[in-house]
Amino acid sequence: MIRHTVVFRLKHKDSSAEEAKFLVDAKILAAIPGVEKFEQLRQVSPRNDFRFGFSMEFADQAAYSRYNDHPDHVAFVRDRWIPEIEAFLEIDYAPLS
């Protein structure tokens, strides 16, 4: 199992229509084959300045790679993520064996 997470801050104003639209439209990622346990989350710690997070799980690295290469993911990153995200950090977890 690989848990892929990304914590981020949008360029949009807090609680704006643009913020809401980004979050709704990002749900397209949940439909990409191999994506399990897709979650959209609010980042609530005062110890960093990110505002949201996405989390999803893949069975293995091959499923994760297929997601990365999927046209819907590639298009989302190009058309929405890069233009609308101010800052982000990717953190991926595997079970500690």
**CB neighbours of 19 closer than 8 A, spacing ≥ 6?**
10, 12, 13
The yes or no reply on residue 15 touching its own copies (CB under 8 A) is: no
Ramachandran bin of 15, using left for φ above 0, alpha for ψ from -120 to 50, beta for the remaining angles: left
The yes or no reply on residue 47 touching its own copies (CB under 8 A) is: yes
The yes or no reply on residue 42 touching its own copies (CB under 8 A) is: yes
Task: Choose between 13 and 42: whose C-beta lies nearer to its own copies.
Answer: 42
The yes or no reply on residue 81 touching its own copies (CB under 8 A) is: no
CA–CA gap between residue 23 and residue 29 (Å, rounded): 11
The region of 28-36, 46-54, 66-74, 75-83 touching its own copies under the rule CB under 8 A is 46-54
